[in-house]
């Protein structure tokens, strides 16, 4: 099959021939019959998410492996890492293999389960990291995400343990004692609204400690959803030492600020903006954008966190934390990073495909589009602008903070090893 007239990472138009799931030829005016018109779309390597909540097993009312991976494909993703905070928790070989098998069965994108660091995410005892690494799911990323591994001894042991199989510990950096009952970013707005504040130091203290621990034992640390300017400074310092540390930022932390809790198009105290870590200030957003541009923050990860309506459309203090993000991620990154001149499409491909695949040690994903590479391809039209309509999402949940907002760009097609999962913006 030939995809005609696409611009690889925004370069001059070419055709791409796909054979046996692999890119067989790239060039102008390739001969052949079986063809589709790419319409001048930008071709990116299939996106890879290091941080997705698929909710299965246990909360199939919010999302399933099937709907979550359909949502991923619609967003241009060919692989996602499924977080471990399911019910039961993904802390054994049995649970991670179950999630991995469901992903293979549906085939909308590759599913790589994340293994829990501690049994039941309880922070008391290390989970069977080795058994999960050796399982069919071949787990390489371990995280108690949703909770912080706050015990320094356990964190040290986890970092030591994963070295045996080249794994990485992905930390949700949140000092629990400093965030008891916290509802939103601690600052001017939380003071005015009388909501319990979530101080930046609760994130920054854990990141600093974990960087030092990772360096001390010579292991690999990944920092989830960095949200403050101070965290960026700590990471910049730690990376200057040459330590093996990577970090992610979410699309929403690149675009939205905490004053939306006070005043927004959907009113005050709207829990659609309640998320962990919380939305921060304009100065934090600016620092995060600069850090993503200069490589201090390595990647964009969605933290796609689906919740059913009844868990979000309630009073602020009772509402669940989190936002869906897979189907809007690329558009938000275009808005925050490309339209502002901070990143080009080469930079976007690095931060949303190549580097996340490298951190997760995924051999067949995140490859640059060249002859011989697996045909994992996302076609994206950056020229359109559309109003976000959650009722059109493939996700089972609708908790998006972008409803009604006009965002740039649209995923035209997604190919997983040469097979279309999305065509003309619709699931195949
Ligand atoms: Zn988290």
Give per-residue pLDDT as tens, 8-55.
Answer: 999 999 999 999 999 999 999 999 999 999 999 999 999 999 999 999
Rg (CA), the chain: 20
CB atoms within 10 A of CB 282: 10
User: What do you get for the CA distance between the two ends of the chain, in Å?
Assistant: 16
Q: How do 419-423 and 406-416 pair as beta strands?
A: antiparallel
DSSP codes joined into one string, 241-304? TT--EEEEE-HHHHH--GGGGTS-TT-TT-GGG--SSPP--HHHHHHHHHHHHHTSS-EE---B
- Residue 321 burial by Cβ neighbours in a 10 Å radius (0-12, 13-18, 19+): middle
Cα of 32 to ligand 1 centre, how many Å? 48
Cα of 172 to ligand 1 centre, how many Å? 5
pLDDT digits (tens, 9 = 90+) for 116-175: 999 999 999 999 999 999 999 999 999 999 999 999 999 999 999 999 999 999 999 999
pLDDT of residue 6: 98
pLDDT of residue 184: 98
How far apart are the C-alpha atoms of 52 and 72, rounded to whole Å? 9
Cα of 268 to ligand 1 centre, how many Å? 24
**Inter-residue contact 264 to 273 (CB < 8 Å):** yes
Cα of 85 to ligand 1 centre, how many Å? 10
Q: List residues bridging with 290 in a β-sheet.
A: none
Over pLDDT 90: what percentage of the chain?
100
- Residues 6 or more apart whose Cβ sits within 8 Å of residue 160: 217, 219
Catalytic residue among 150, 258, 303, 311: 303
Cα of 277 to ligand 1 centre, how many Å? 7
How far apart are the C-alpha atoms of 228 and 197, rounded to whole Å? 14
Element (H, E) at 304: none
Return the closest-CA partner of residue 347 out of 311, 297, 396: 297
**Inter-residue contact 11 to 40 (CB < 8 Å):** no
Cα of 81 to ligand 1 centre, how many Å? 13
How far apart are the C-alpha atoms of 81 and 79, rounded to whole Å? 7
Return the closest-CA partner of residue 398 out of 303, 319, 327: 327
Cα of 108 to ligand 1 centre, how many Å? 24
Residue 216 three-state SS: helix
CB atoms within 10 A of CB 103: 26
pLDDT of residue 237: 98
Token output for 185? 């970013």
Over residues 350-371, the mean pLDDT reads 97
Active site residue 61: no
Return the closest-CA partner of residue 82 out of 299, 94, 102: 102
Cα of 146 to ligand 1 centre, how many Å? 4
Residue 161 has φ and ψ, to the nearest 5°, of -65, -45
Return the closest-CA partner of residue 422 out of 82, 50, 41, 24: 41
Supply the DSSP symbol for 220: -
Q: In angstroms, what CA-CA distances link 328 with 323, 334, 418?
A: 11, 10, 23
- Residues 6 or more apart whose Cβ sits within 8 Å of residue 35: 1, 2, 3, 4
Q: In angstroms, what CA-CA distances link 164 with 34, 154, 157, 183, 267?
A: 47, 16, 12, 39, 51
Cα of 145 to ligand 1 centre, how many Å? 4
Taken in order 362, 126, 143, 68, the sign of the CA dihedral is positive
pLDDT digits (tens, 9 = 90+) for 266-315: 999 999 999 999 999 999 999 999 999 999 999 999 999 999 999 999 99
Q: How do 168-171 and 221-223 pair as beta strands?
A: parallel
Element (H, E) at 294: helix 282-294
Question: Locate tokens 């992903």: which residue?
Answer: 103
pLDDT digits (tens, 9 = 90+) for 192-218: 999 999 999 999 999 999 999 999 999
**Inter-residue contact 230 to 175 (CB < 8 Å):** no
pTM of the model: 0.98
pLDDT of residue 132: 98
pLDDT of residue 351: 98
What average pLDDT does the chain have?
A: 98
pLDDT of residue 69: 98
Return the closest-CA partner of residue 258 out of 206, 313, 199, 334: 199
CB atoms within 10 A of CB 239: 18
Cα of 363 to ligand 1 centre, how many Å? 25
pLDDT of residue 359: 98
- Residues 6 or more apart whose Cβ sits within 8 Å of residue 81: 49, 50, 51, 52, 112, 113, 114, 141, 360
């Amino acid at each position: 099959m030939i995809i005609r007239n696409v611009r690889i990472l925004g370069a001059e138009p070419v055709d791409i021939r796909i054979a046996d799931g692999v890119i067989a030829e790239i060039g102008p005016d390739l001969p052949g019959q079986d063809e589709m018109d790419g319409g001048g779309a930008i071709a990116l390597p299939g996106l890879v998410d290091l941080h997705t909540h698929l909710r299965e097993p246990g909360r199939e009312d919010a999302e399933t492996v099937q709907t979550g991976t359909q949502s991923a494909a619609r967003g241009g993703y060919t692989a996602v890492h499924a977080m471990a905070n399911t019910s039961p928790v993904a802390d054994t070989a049995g649970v991670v293999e179950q999630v991995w098998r469901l992903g293979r069965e549906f085939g909308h994108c590759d599913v790589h389960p994340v293994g829990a660091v501690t049994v039941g995410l309880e922070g008391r005892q290390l989970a069977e990291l080795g058994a999960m690494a050796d399982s069919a799911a071949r787990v390489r990323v371990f995280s108690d995400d949703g909770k912080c591994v706050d015990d320094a001894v356990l964190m040290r042991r986890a970092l030591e343990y994963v070295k045996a199989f080249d794994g990485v510990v992905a930390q949700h950096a949140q000092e629990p004692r400093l965030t008891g009952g916290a509802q939103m970013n601690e600052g001017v707005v939380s003071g005015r609204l009388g909501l319990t504040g979530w101080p930046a130091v609760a994130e920054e203290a854990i990141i600093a400690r974990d960087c030092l621990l990772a360096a001390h034992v010579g292991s690999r640390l990944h920092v989830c959803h960095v949200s403050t300017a101070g965290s960026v400074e700590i990471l910049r310092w730690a990376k200057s030492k040459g330590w093996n540390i990577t970090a992610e930022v979410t699309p929403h932390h690149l675009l939205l600020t905490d004053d939306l809790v006070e005043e927004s198009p959907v009113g005050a105290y709207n829990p659609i903006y309640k998320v962990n870590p919380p939305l921060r200030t304009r100065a934090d957003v600016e620092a995060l954008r600069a850090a993503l541009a200069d490589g201090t923050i390595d990647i964009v990860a969605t933290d796609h966190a689906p919740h059913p309506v009844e868990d979000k459309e309630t009073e602020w203090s009772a509402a669940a934390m989190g936002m869906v993000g897979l189907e809007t991620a690329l558009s938000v990154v275009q808005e925050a990073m490309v339209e502002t001149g901070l990143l080009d499409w080469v930079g976007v491909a690095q931060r949303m495909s190549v580097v996340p695949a490298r951190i997760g040690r995924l051999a067949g994903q995140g490859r640059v589009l060249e002859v011989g590479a697996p045909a994992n391809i996302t076609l994206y039209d950056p020229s359109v602008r559309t109003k976000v309509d959650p009722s059109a999402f493939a996700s089972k949940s609708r908790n998006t903070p972008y409803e009604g907002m006009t965002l740039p760009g649209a995923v035209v097609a997604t190919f997983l090893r040469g097979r279309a999962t999305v065509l003309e913006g619709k699931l195949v």
